[in-house]
């Protein structure tokens, strides 16, 4: 499985489902990968992208703190496959000479990677989804320029109002 390192291009709101979408982009690939996520996960990602700190540890802060307290390191996260319209991911954690692969949701993995400054990698095949295939949304363009324009129009309040 060939993995491509990606960056979070941004967050958008799918107006047809009222669901947040995280947009991942890989260097040198002319498509982006949209992944529909929950509002709470979008909020965690948005906070990290915006540099907003909460007064108390949020879930992703807690997980990062636990990993660090165990003298372990989140090496990277990988979004590996799409099965039955569900994306799968894993956390790759190391502690001395021990390596761990932990099954996780992509949204949680992305938020934790951003908190931990770990790399985010995506199976290259996921960028090849074609119209009509599971995981491809006809309502969400996958070319970077269309998505950039959509992201410029997003109001941060579209993700809901959560106290910090």
Instruction: Give all strands of the β-sheet with 3-14 in edge-to-edge order.
Output: 32-36, 19-26, 3-14, 119-123, 73-83, 86-95, 98-104
Task: For residue range 146-158, list pLDDT tens digits in order.
Answer: 655 655 555 555 5
pLDDT computed for residue 82 by the predictor:
94
Please state which CATH number belongs to domain 3-159. 3.10.690.10
Per-residue confidence band for 18, with pLDDT thresholds at 50, 70 and 90: confident
Phi, psi of 45, deg, nearest 5: -65, -45
Task: For residue range 73-126, list pLDDT tens digits in order.
Answer: 999 999 999 999 899 999 999 999 999 999 999 999 999 999 999 999 999 999
The residue extents of the domains of the chain are 3-159
pLDDT computed for residue 83 by the predictor:
92
Residue 33 has pLDDT above 50, yes or no: yes
């Amino acid at each position: 499985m060939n993995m491509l390192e990606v960056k979070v291009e941004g967050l958008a709101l799918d107006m047809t489902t009222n669901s947040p979408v995280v947009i991942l982009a890989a260097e040198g690939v002319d498509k982006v990968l949209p992944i529909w996520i929950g509002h709470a996960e979008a909020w965690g990602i948005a906070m990290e992208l915006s540099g907003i700190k909460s007064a108390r540890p949020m879930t992703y802060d807690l997980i990062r703190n636990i990993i660090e307290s165990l003298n372990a390191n989140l090496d990277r996260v990988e979004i590996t496959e799409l099965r039955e319209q569900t994306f799968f991911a894993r956390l790759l954690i190391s502690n001395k000479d021990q390596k761990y692969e932990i099954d996780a949701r992509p949204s949680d993995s992305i938020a934790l990677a951003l908190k931990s400054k770990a790399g985010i990698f995506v199976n290259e095949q996921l960028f090849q989804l074609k119209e009509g295939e599971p995981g491809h949304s006809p309502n969400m363009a996958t070319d970077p320029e269309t998505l950039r324009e959509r992201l410029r129009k997003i109001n941060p309040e579209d993700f809901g109002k959560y106290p910090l």
